[in-house]
Amino acid sequence: METDRPILIASETWDQLDSYNKNLKSKFIRAFRFISRNLQHPSLRIEIIRRGSDVIYRARVDPTHRIHFEQQGAFYRILAVGPHRLQGIG
pLDDT tens track for 4-59:
899 999 999 999 999 999 999 999 999 999 999 999 999 999 999 887 788 899 99
Q: How far apart are CA 66 and CA 82, in angstroms?
A: 6
pLDDT tens sequence across 46-64: 999 887 788 899 999 999 9
Give the gyration radius of the chain's Cα atoms: 12
Count of the separate structural domains present in the chain: 1
Q: What angle do CA 41, 66, 33 make, to 5 degrees?
A: 40
- The pTM (predicted TM-score) of the whole model is 0.85
Which residue range is the domain that position 44 belongs to? 7-83
Backbone angles phi, psi at 66, to 5 degrees: -135, 165
Residue 87 has pLDDT above 60, yes or no: no
24 CB-contact burial (10 Å; exposed 0-12 / middle 13-18 / buried 19+): middle
Q: What is the CATH number of the domain that holds 34?
A: 3.30.2310.20
